[in-house]
Structure 1
Amino acid sequence: MNIYEMLNIEALKTLSLGKLEILEESFFTRSNLLLICEELLGKVLLTNKTEGLSGGLISEVEAYFGSVDLASHAYKNKRTKRNEPLFKSGGILYIHTCHGHTMLNVVTNRENIPQGILIRGIIPLIGIDLMKQRRGSVKEVDLANGPGKLTKALGITMYYNTKKVYRDTTDNYMSEICIANIGIKLEQCMIEKTPRIGIDYAKQWLNQPLRFSLLI
């Protein structure tokens, strides 16, 4: 049985939006980066744009440990206009470009501890037709199975830099982007931990198992 069958993905595609529980800010401000990575798997990343809702189940993430991590944009606490969001309190987005692709990172931990999580893939659940319009003629399984693919599929641009993904208690409406819980419980056997991708320069960090993926 594969992960699609184990999680009953086809049934999740008909999920009522009323079942979405947008995560609280406290989920992201915790100090245990690896735990947050694991717990992000199976959560829903959702964008709410004028053309409609689109989103999916987070299936792949990578952890970045900030000042001590050679692969982090904030290595040695280097602080620039570009990476300033990493130094904010957790629960906001750090958006940047890499080789022409838009990359979506969620900031974690407390202010001035520049840790974050790169979201590398989602399993499409909501607004699949809209995602196909944005991505062109590709198979559903390939719509958002990469960091640049998912941002294009969800209509995410630099505009979303510093946007909150947690529940705004002052607003009764769904925000422009959020991460929500739909009650999925993952077993350890469903999660694979491997080294991060594309960081050959990161020396002792190169082979650390900081990439978390659903075993699809």
Structure 2
Amino acid sequence: MKVQPLPQSFFEQPTLELAKGLLGKLLVKESASGTASGWIVETEAYIGPGDRAAHSFGNRRTPRTEIMFAAPGYVYTYVMHTHCLVNVVSGKVDQPEAVLIRAVEPYQGLELMYERRGEKKKEQELTNGPGKLTKALGIDRNDYGRRFVEPPLYIAKGRQPGIIMSGPRIGIDNSGEAREYPWRFWVKGNRFVSR
């Protein structure tokens, strides 16, 4: 089933609204091996320059964060430890904000996901974390700077997410008061939410 990318206007909403709005949408990656996709079930908002947990805190501009200063809807990928993570650039030009996609529920290309993540994985473990989902979908550093409004990596219309929960973000312990901000959003009861 061929789905259409969402229009640019979808990405032009305030970051916290976008982080909630992404829940239930379909994240799609087309590759030579086939197409893999999943319903977004967990996100985290990062509102730099005043957000100590954001890579762009204090308007920090580096080759890695440069894309965060672009228009909303760009792909921001980076490697943390050995995992590639994928973010949706949000905020206006020169307002470096982003939404991390933390978990998806597999929809299309399950065989491909098992191939990439290992045959012995439980289905739930394929995509229930930000580094797991990129590996399962085949998202990598080469996707940096693409736009989510066109293939091969895009976000399409989805389904109603159900009840949306919010709480503190995960894994940002050294970020002062920012670690308490309730900027993580997830679909209540979905078994693919990271934890």
TM-score normalised by the shorter chain: which range applies? over 0.9
- Whole-angstrom distance in 2 between the partners of 1:59 and 1:185: 11
Spell out structure 1 runs of 4+ moving beyond 2 A. Answer: none
Establish whether residue 185 from structure 1 lines up as the match of residue 160 from structure 2: yes
| Contact 2:41-2:161 at 8 Å conserved across structures | no
CA-atom RMSD, angstroms? Answer: 1.1
2:39 maps to amino acid: L
For residues 1-216 of structure 1, the aligned pairs below 5 Å read 16-17=1-2, 20-30=3-13, 32-136=14-118, 137-167=120-150, 175-182=151-158, 184-187=159-162, 190-215=163-188, 216=190
- Residue 68 of structure 1: SS of its match in structure 2? coil
Aligned residue number for residue 193 of structure 2: none
Output the TM-score relative to the length of structure 2: 0.93
- Structure (1 or 2) with the greater helix fraction: 1
Bigger radius of gyration among the two: 1
Q: Percentage identity across aligned positions?
A: 38
- Residue 124 of structure 2: SS of its match in structure 1? helix
1:69 maps to amino acid: D
| Structure 2 unmatched runs, 5+ | 191-195
- After superposition, the C-alpha distances for 1:5-44 in whole angstroms (9 at most, x for unaligned) are xxxxxxxxxxx33xx34111111122x1111111100000
- Whole-angstrom distance in 1 between the partners of 2:133 and 2:148: 16
1:143 maps to amino acid: L
- Whole-angstrom distance in 1 between the partners of 2:121 and 2:161: 28
1:24 maps to amino acid: P
| Structure 1 unmatched runs, 5+ | 1-15, 168-174
Q: How many pairs were matched up? A: 188
1:28 maps to amino acid: F
Deviation at 1:109, TM superposition (A): 2.0
Output the TM-score relative to the length of structure 1: 0.84
| Contact 2:114-2:136 at 8 Å conserved across structures | yes
